[in-house]
Amino acid sequence: MSVRMKLLCVTLALLLTANFCDGITVKQSPVLSVCREGDASVTLRCYHDVSSYYYMFWYRQRDNNMEMLTYSHGQGLWEIQPPFEKDVHYTMSRPELTRSTLEIKNLEVGDEAVYYCASSTAPSNQPAFFGNGTKLTVLDPNIKVTEPTVKVLAPSAKECEDRNKKKKKTLVCVATRYYPDHVTVFWQVNNVNRTEGAGTDNRALWDEDGLYSITSRLRVPAKEWHKPENRFTCNVSFYNGTDNIKVNDTISGDLQGQSGEEITTDYYVKSTQTAKLAYSIFIAKSTFYGLVVMVMIWKFQVSSLQI
Ligand SMILES: *[C@@H]1O[C@H](CO)[C@@H](O)[C@H](O)[C@H]1NC(C)=O
Ligand SMILES: *[C@@H]1O[C@H](CO)[C@@H](O)[C@H](O)[C@H]1NC(C)=O
Ligand SMILES: *[C@@H]1O[C@H](CO)[C@@H](O)[C@H](O)[C@H]1NC(C)=O
Ligand SMILES: *[C@@H]1O[C@H](CO)[C@@H](O)[C@H](O)[C@H]1NC(C)=O
Ligand SMILES: *[C@@H]1O[C@H](CO)[C@@H](O)[C@H](O)[C@H]1NC(C)=O
C-alpha cells in the first residue's frame, strides 16, 4: 500500500469514528443525592437518545474502582451482574429502550459512591457511552455534619514563569474538615466570577475523623495580584443534606514581592541554602584534612617500619 493510500485509510478511519462517536448522549439525574443510613431507597435515573442502543448498564465507582452492577439487553429485561446477584439491594428497570432506573434499597454507608449509567449497541466489543454520574452520599450517623473552614493563601514569593513568559501568581484556597463531601468551590475577583485559571481537585481528601478537605487554585497575572485594591474571594457552597451553606474567605492583593527588596520566603530559602553550602564545604574540608593526616600517619608508619 502506498503512503498516500495509507494516509487515506487513516483519515477515513478517523472520520468514521468521529461520526460514530458523537452519536449518543446519556443523561443522568439527579447529579447529587444525599440519603441517611437506613433510608428505604433511592432511585437514580438515566436517559439516552438512540433506541438502537439496546444495552444499558449501571456501574458503581468507589475508591477508584469501577464495578458493573446491573445490565439490561432490552425493554423490560435486566440482570444483576456477578458478584452482586445475591445482593437484593439493587433493582434495575427498563420501561423503554431509552430509559432506565437503578433503585438502591435499605441504604448503608457503604452505598456512598458515584453511580454511572452507560449504553451500547452490544454487550462488549462496542463502545459504551457514559452519563456524567450521580454522586450518592449516605450520611454516617457517627460523623457530625460539619461545614468547611475556608482559607485563601497568598501566592508564594517566587513562581516559575509560564511558557509565554508571562508572570503569574497562584492563590490557593483550602476548604477543610467538612462532612458530607458535598462542596463546590468557585473564585471571584472583585465580586466577579473567575473561571479562567481556576482549578479544583477532582477528589476531596479524607482524614481519620471522616472529615473531608479540598484544595482549589487560581492563577492570576502578577500585575493583578500586585494591586492592593483587588480582592480575591474563594466561595465554597456546602450542602449539609438539606440546605446549601455558603462559606467564603477573601484576601487583598499585595505589593510585596514586586520590587524584590523585602525579605521574602525566597530570600530566606536562598540564605539557608547558602548556609548549607558553606557547611558542606566545611565538612568536605575537614574530611580532606582528615585524609591528609591519615596518609601522613600511614607514610610515617611505613617509613618507620623500613628503618
Ligand atoms: C456532562 O459533563 C460535561 C462536562 O462537564 C458537560 O459538558 C456535559 O454537558 C454534561 N452532560 C450532560 C448530559 O449533562
Ligand atoms: C458565579 O458562579 C456561581 C457558582 O458557579 C453561580 O452560582 C453564580 O450564579 C455565578 N454568578 C454569576 C454572576 O455568574
Ligand atoms: C462569594 O463571597 C463573596 C464574599 O463574601 C460574596 O460577596 C459573594 O456574594 C459570594 N458569591 C456568591 C455567588 O455567593
Ligand atoms: C443544614 O443547615 C440548615 C441551615 O443552616 C440547618 O437548619 C439544618 O439543621 C442543617 N442540617 C443539618 C443536617 O445539619
Ligand atoms: C462570607 O464570610 C463571612 C465570614 O467569613 C460571612 O460573614 C459572610 O456572610 C459570607 N458571605 C457570603 C456571601 O456568604
- Confidence at residue 163, expressed as pLDDT on a 0 to 100 scale: 60
Q: What is the pLDDT of residues 241-261, one digit of tens each?
A: 889 999 999 999 988 755 443
Q: What is the pLDDT of residues 205-235, one digit of tens each?
A: 988 888 999 999 999 999 999 999 999 999 9
Other C-beta atoms closer than 10 Å to the C-beta of 250 total 13
Whole-number percent of the chain with pLDDT over 70: 73
- Confidence at residue 209, expressed as pLDDT on a 0 to 100 scale: 85
C-alpha span between 34 and 22 (Å, rounded):
32
CA 150 to centroid of ligand 1, rounded, Å: 28
- Confidence at residue 12, expressed as pLDDT on a 0 to 100 scale: 41
Q: What is the pLDDT of residues 79-94, one digit of tens each?
A: 998 888 877 789 999 9
- The whole-number average pLDDT for the span 89-102 is 95
Task: Please tell me the total count of domains within the chain.
Answer: 2
Q: Which residue lies with its CA nearest to atom 11 of ligand 1?
A: 132
SS3 for the chain is CCHHHHHHHHHHHHHHHHHHHCCCCEEEECCEEEEECCCCEEEEEEEECCCCCCEEEEEEEECCEEEEEEEEEECCEEEECCCCCCCCCEEEEEEECCEEEEEEECCCHHHCEEEEEEEECCCCCCCCEECCCEEEEEECCCCCCECCEEEEECCCCCCCCCCCCCCEEEEEEEEEEEECCCEEEEEEECCEEECCCEEECCCCEECCCCCEEEEEEEEEEHHHHCCCCCEEEEEEEEECCCCEEEEEEEEECCCCCCCCCCCCHHHHHHHHHHHHHHHHHHHHHHHHHHHHHHHHHHHHHHHHHHC
3-12, 68-77, 194-203: least confidently modelled range: 3-12
Q: What is the pLDDT of residues 141-153, one digit of tens each?
A: 889 999 999 999 9
Q: Give the residue carrying C-alpha cell 474563594.
A: 234
- Confidence at residue 288, expressed as pLDDT on a 0 to 100 scale: 53
CA 247 to centroid of ligand 5, rounded, Å: 6
97 band by pLDDT with thresholds 50, 70 and 90:
very high
Indicate which ligand has the atom closest to the C-alpha of 194: 2
Q: Are 13 and 124 part of one and the same domain?
A: yes
Ligand 2: nearest atom to the Cα of 192: 13
Q: For 211, how many CA atoms within 13 A lie in the half-sphere containing its CB?
A: 12
Residue at a domain's end among 235, 252, 269: 252
C-alpha span between 130 and 114 (Å, rounded):
12
CATH, residue 72: 2.60.40.10
Q: Which residue lies with its CA nearest to atom 1 of ligand 5?
A: 248
**Ligand 3 neighbourhood includes 192 CB (under 6 angstroms):** no
Are 24 and 50 contacting, i.e. CB atoms less than 8 angstroms apart?
yes
Are 54 and 61 contacting, i.e. CB atoms less than 8 angstroms apart?
no
Residues near ligand 1 with C-beta < 6 Å?
A: 25, 27, 132
- The whole-number average pLDDT for the span 57-83 is 92
CA 23 to centroid of ligand 1, rounded, Å: 15
Is the model's pLDDT at 274 over the cut of 70?
A: no
Is the model's pLDDT at 9 over the cut of 70?
A: no
CA 217 to centroid of ligand 3, rounded, Å: 17
> Is residue 187 assigned to a domain?
yes
> Is residue 193 assigned to a domain?
yes
> Is residue 190 assigned to a domain?
yes
Domain region containing 30: 3-139
CA 34 to centroid of ligand 4, rounded, Å: 13
Is the model's pLDDT at 284 over the cut of 60?
A: no
Q: Which residue lies with its CA nearest to atom 10 of ligand 3?
A: 235
C-alpha span between 10 and 15 (Å, rounded):
9
Q: What is the pLDDT of residues 164-183, one digit of tens each?
A: 666 889 999 999 999 999 89
- Confidence at residue 247, expressed as pLDDT on a 0 to 100 scale: 97
- Confidence at residue 160, expressed as pLDDT on a 0 to 100 scale: 61
To test the pocket of ligand 1, the residue of 45, 132, 134 to mutate (highest count of ligand atoms within 8 Å of its CB) is: 132
CA 192 to centroid of ligand 2, rounded, Å: 9
Q: Are 35 and 161 part of one and the same domain?
A: no
Q: Are 120 and 161 part of one and the same domain?
A: no
> Is residue 276 assigned to a domain?
no
C-alpha span between 118 and 185 (Å, rounded):
28
Residue at a domain's end among 207, 231, 252: 252
Higher pLDDT, 254 or 163: 254
68-72, 132-136, 257-261: least confidently modelled range: 257-261
Q: Is the whole-model pTM more than 0.85?
A: no
- Confidence at residue 22, expressed as pLDDT on a 0 to 100 scale: 57
- Confidence at residue 245, expressed as pLDDT on a 0 to 100 scale: 96
Q: For 287, how many CA atoms within 13 A lie in the half-sphere containing its CB?
A: 6
Is the model's pLDDT at 116 over the cut of 70?
A: yes
User: Alpha-carbon torsion 252, 258, 261, 264, what sign?
Assistant: positive
Q: Mean pLDDT over all residues of the chain? A: 81
Burial of 99 (C-beta count, 10 Å sphere; 0-12/13-18/19+)? middle
Residue at a domain's end among 115, 139, 163: 139
Q: Are 188 and 84 part of one and the same domain?
A: no
- Confidence at residue 255, expressed as pLDDT on a 0 to 100 scale: 81
